[in-house]
Structure 1
Amino acid sequence: MKINKYNSFVFALLFGLALSTQAQTKQWTLEECVRYALDNNITIKLSELDVKNSVIDKRGALGNYLPAVNANASHSWNIGLNQNITTGLLENQTTQYSSIGASVGVDIYKGLQNQNTYRRAKLSIVASKYQLLKMQEDISLNVANAFLEILFNKENLKVKKEQLAIDEKRFKRSEEMVNAGTIPRGDLFDLKATVATDQQAIIVAENSLLISKLSLAQLLQLKEFADFDVTDNTNVQDENNIMAQNPTDIYNKAKETRTELKLAETNLEIAQKNVSIAKGAYQPTLSAFYNFNTRASYSDIITGSTLNTANPTNQIGFVEGTNQSVLQNNYSPVLGNAAPILDQFDNNKGQSFGVQLSIPIFNGFSTRNNVERNKVSLEKSKIDLEQKSLDLQRNVYTAFTDAKGALNAYESSTITLEARQQSYNYAKEKYDVGLMNSFDFTQAQTLLTNAQSDVIRAKYDYMFKIKILEFYFGIPIVPIIKN
């Protein structure tokens, strides 16, 4: 009995601990959010399907090298007035025929179009993988931005609540001072309005935090996001010392690693292959073919002949001069069953083979127009690559300048906050001894609150600008597996 009670107690304890653990809300780290988004985001899944389509296209391009083999079989019934293939006469009858065949065709030369199509297909796989990688990088940045937005809203809400707590204490203390006749009742009304304003600010901050959590949860494709939360990692530091780098060095590194530049280069190669494929239509094509066929009939066949007893002779002419009739025996065919089907298939075999040369002479300018159209696409790809290079250079220098400016703004706002804090402490001392009125003290408090908000905003702006700069330097938030 004691053992049973002990087991029951242990079971209840473990069960309670399990419930307590499940009740705790999981807090996601930035790395976990990014990794989950990379594994579950719908846009990325669509891009992965594009990669699979490219692989299928490559398989199809490889198939152009292989011969085309086809087989056919048919069985037909002819009912009504048809020619009897045995007697040659038209008769109302039902006949059946069977036929089978096979054909093989292979391209010997096609203006190198098959080769260039296969090379283009391989480049398309590379391009689709780069497109997938770019999508993953964009999603990672979006997740990082949404994650930092939650942290910003969390700290902002914390500041608002702390401010409300301070104002509520002031309001309670002021009530006591008003009752004691130390300060006028008008100051109490000002504080009451301030507390109400603080409460409104908290509601706005809570809504902003909820919306930012919802945005990140939707970006992660989470179905259950009512209790979604992230870790409060608020350290502001340049872990990879990216700000010590020279903008030119970052740009040179970006030219080697940035996906959008590699994608533009691959698209340029694809455009070049398209021009080569289009030009291949100017050249003659040579192909080889082989056909095999056989057939079988189910109609009766002639197996012999016999003298027609009803009409044993036929007049075939006259002897010149005597007009004597010239007669011949009149024979009637003897019909028998058709030969076995397999024997007919074996006896009626037929084959044909050869080569076919096709020389393009004039086709309504379609080939020429196709070549010119692909040349235009090639020029557009060249311009796009040049533009992507210029954009990358501008973006790198802009990102470096923005990060440097964000750091300066964060440092300046921190200094401002320290000064505002000292000013507030001094105003509070004066207010507590009755040397400052409620309005002036509220102004000092408002300036402190604004300075706190500026520090929070500058901090997370700097953190995000650092992430962007690290991206250009080839440092991802989490390692992305390249297929």
Structure 2
Amino acid sequence: MITRRLLAACLLVTAMPVASANELLRVYELALQQDMRLQAARHARDAAIEARPQARAALLPQINASYGYEDSSETGTEGFAGQPEARVDRDSTARALTVRLDQTLFDWAAFKRYDQAGDEAALAQADFRRAEQDLVLRITQAYFGALSAADNLRFSQSEKAAVERQLEQAQRRFDVGLSAITDVQEAQARFDLTVAQEITAEQQLAAAREALREITGAGPNREVPLQEEIPLRLPEPADSERWLDTARDHNLDLVIANLQAEIARTGIDIARAGHLPRVGALAQYQDLQTDGGRFTGESEIETVGVEVSLPIFAGLATRSRVSQARSTHEQFESLFQLTRRGVERSTRDAYLAVNAGAARVRALRQAVLSSTTALEASETGLEVGTRTAVDVLNAQRDLYSAQRDYARARYDYLLSILLLKAAAGTLDVTDLEQIDALLVVGG
């Protein structure tokens, strides 16, 4: 029978020696180099990190030098009271060299900008880390999308072949008068449907491969499948509250939202600095020289001192900036609380999804076995006249539908594990390695 041949083929595949394919890791390595979203996040991080040395520069000595040279020519007459005028025709030069050093002693705004720049650098690093985690999820989703599309195409082709054989049998039975024309028509209609399903599956596979190519910048990639049976591990620890505690400390969305609130809080201190004095030390050296003018000479001036700048009234601008900074901080505090609630919900959902996913895989595997048995019974019943060709076609449809659902459920289960670890903030490439170990090729 068709079904027995199918089961024998499945058992043969399961019994064959297998070897890890390392295909998912290879695709991930390509994505690390070629994914433009990750590259953009890396450049954004590198740019944001420069805010810290720039803020520190305002606290370090500032040294400036200037040099001026003038060459002038004077013609005319000059005289003094009681003296006859005399004609003047002279050239003169003037040179001035100035070197000045400024050192901030107290500038509350500069101090707070330096603290803020540290948080901005941490924010940039957390944002890049989130992009790395996102890449792990996206590459796995895209790869499993290609595997699922390949599975669907394979199941569609197998179903079409099975229905085609059923159509041939119905035609032969009709030709010898053992069945009605309705059996042939039903088989023909079901065959036409499987042809349409195969076309759709081919298009979906092409689209899935293009989605993977978009991330890796290369293709085509091999679709190395999962092994037939995968371990169905439940979350460890088996306590959703412990996963929530981890998420509160390490979830990157929450880390980023908290840093944004801290940056906004520091912005209040920076705005308040508009009311405070600024104190700086200075040291200046000047070398002045004049030749050929009315006054000729050379002098050196050395200056050391302290400058204090105290704002008295700025048209209420400082007060407005403080109010604005407070509102901005309250905005980011509200966003932090919103993010925290969302993280708690998504962590609980992901925890439940892993448990439900494992149970669903087991249930669908049993559904495949039950559908296989039902198909065998329908085929036997058709031979002895207790079942119709329509019953067999329906049983075939149910079997291939169960196989599709079972295959998809395995991908969804593995993705739910990654989503749970991403929600907890602990997802990294080692989790991808564990999934990659489940991809197998014939040994």
TM-score normalised by structure 2 residue count: 0.80
CA deviation after TM superposition for structure 1 residue 215, in Å: 0.6
For these two proteins, the number of residue pairs brought into alignment is 407
Distance 1:57 1:296, change over 3 A: same
Q: Which amino acid aligns with 2:286?
A: N
Give distance in 2, aligned partners of 1:88 and 1:425: 132
Aligned with 2:405 (options 454, 462, 465): 454
Indicate the SS of the match to 1:229. Answer: coil
Match of 2:98 in 1: 101
What CA RMSD, in Å, does the superposition of the two structures yield over aligned residues?
3.2
Unaligned runs of at least 5 residues, structure 1: 1-26, 303-338
Match of 2:269 in 1: 276
Q: Which amino acid aligns with 2:412?
A: D
More helix by share: 2
Q: Identity, % of aligned pairs? A: 16
Indicate the SS of the match to 1:266. Answer: helix
Q: After superposition, what is the alpha-carbon deviation per residue over 1:236-295, rounded to whole angstroms, capped at 9, x for unaligned?
A: 645654166111121122223222222233333323322222222211122233333334
- Verify the 8 A CA contact 1:82 1:93 in the aligned structure 2: no
CA deviation after TM superposition for structure 1 residue 393, in Å: 1.6
Indicate the SS of the match to 1:163. Answer: helix
Q: Where do 1:434-453 residues align within 5 Å?
A: 434-453=385-404
Give distance in 2, aligned partners of 1:282 and 1:88: 59
Greater relative contact order (Cα < 8 A, sep 6+) = 2
Q: After superposition, what is the alpha-carbon deviation per residue over 1:337-369, rounded to whole angstroms, capped at 9, x for unaligned?
A: xx9xxxx6xx33334443222221111112222
Q: Where do 1:168-317 residues align within 5 Å?
A: 168-185=164-181, 187-220=183-216, 222=217, 224-225=218-219, 227-234=220-227, 237=230, 241-242=234-235, 245-297=238-290, 299=292
Aligned with 1:30 (options 24, 42, 63): 24
Match of 1:12 in 2: none
Match of 2:439 in 1: none
Q: Where do 1:8-19 residues align within 5 Å?
A: none
Unaligned runs of at least 5 residues, structure 2: 1-20, 432-443
Q: Which amino acid aligns with 1:279?
A: R
Distance 1:125 1:84, change over 3 A: farther
Match of 2:124 in 1: 128
- Verify the 8 A CA contact 1:28 1:229 in the aligned structure 2: no
Q: After superposition, what is the alpha-carbon deviation per residue over 1:304-343, rounded to whole angstroms, capped at 9, x for unaligned?
A: xxxxxxxxxxxxxxxxxxxxxxxxxxxxxxxxxxx9xxxx
Q: Does 1:71 align with 2:65?
A: yes
Q: Does 1:141 align with 2:116?
A: no
- Verify the 8 A CA contact 1:80 1:94 in the aligned structure 2: yes
- Verify the 8 A CA contact 1:28 1:230 in the aligned structure 2: no
Q: Which amino acid aligns with 1:448?
A: L
Distance 1:164 1:91, change over 3 A: farther
Larger Rg belongs to: 1
Give distance in 2, aligned partners of 1:243 and 1:48: 32
Per mean C-alpha deviation after superposition, the further-off stretch among 358-367 and 33-42 is 33-42
CA deviation after TM superposition for structure 1 residue 395, in Å: 1.3
Aligned with 1:151 (options 147, 153, 165): 147
Q: Which amino acid aligns with 2:213?
A: A
Distance 1:88 1:176, change over 3 A: farther
Distance 1:229 1:284, change over 3 A: same
